[in-house]
Chain A
Amino acid sequence: GEDVEQSLFLSVREGDSSVINCTYTDSSSTYLYWYKQEPGAGLQLLTYIFSNMDMKQDQRLTVLLNKKDKHLSLRIADTQTGDSAIYFCAEKNNFNKFYFGSGTKLNVKP
């Protein structure tokens, strides 16, 4: 499969911004995604970005894509304790296959 890499942990204080980073290797990626998984639950799609876009904003979420460096980030503004979860970066390649990163566990401290 393709390589999609993320740092494993991030800890922030409530009200701060969180930035979760992801790098990928496949230059044929068509879409890139951020999924959220809460403990014991399934994966929930948060947002996605088409590969020819640089940025997408959706309420508290901002996705930045640097296609040259194959770097994707998710910024969560005003992070809340309810945002504590594992966040997975994923990419879809030109064969319509999806590959997931290792996940970043976000811990939000009150």
Chain B
Amino acid sequence: SAVISQKPSRDICQRGTSLTIQCQVDSQVTMMFWYRQQPGQSLTLIATANQGSEATYESGFVIDKFPISRPNLTFSTLTVSNMSPEDSSIYLCSVEDRSNTGELFFGEGSRLTVL
């Protein structure tokens, strides 16, 4: 299993500001995934953070809005830029079990509220 720490756990932000979410994993992993879960909805994959290369973004998500860093194999950040109320969501960092059977381990999430 993997232990994932995310911070902040929650924040209230003003429209137009940016916030960076940090994700720390207790083991080295190749791929880290960033998801968003909007209120009452499912998880939507934002991007995959690869160490040593650019993150790959899903349709509807762009680097200017959600820049990602992946400086090493245990850490990643996701920035939510120029926030609007529509960005209010839980943002989740996740990694895959090493056996590659695909259990995804999730951080506790960062609940952002944009006013």
A: residues with CB less than 8 A from B are: 1, 30-31, 33, 42-43, 45, 48, 50, 88, 90, 92, 96-103
Contact = CB atoms under 8 A, between A and B. Distances in A.
Interface majority SS (helix, strand, loop, mixed), chain B: strand
Contact of B104 (A1, A45, A50): A45
Interface in B15-41: 31, 33, 35, 41
Interface in B84-101: 92, 94, 96, 100-101
Given A43-B104, A88-B42, 7 more contacts: A1-B59, A30-B102, A43-B106, A48-B102, A48-B103, A96-B96, A100-B42
A31 B109 CA distance: 24
A48 B101 contact: yes
Nearest to A96: B31
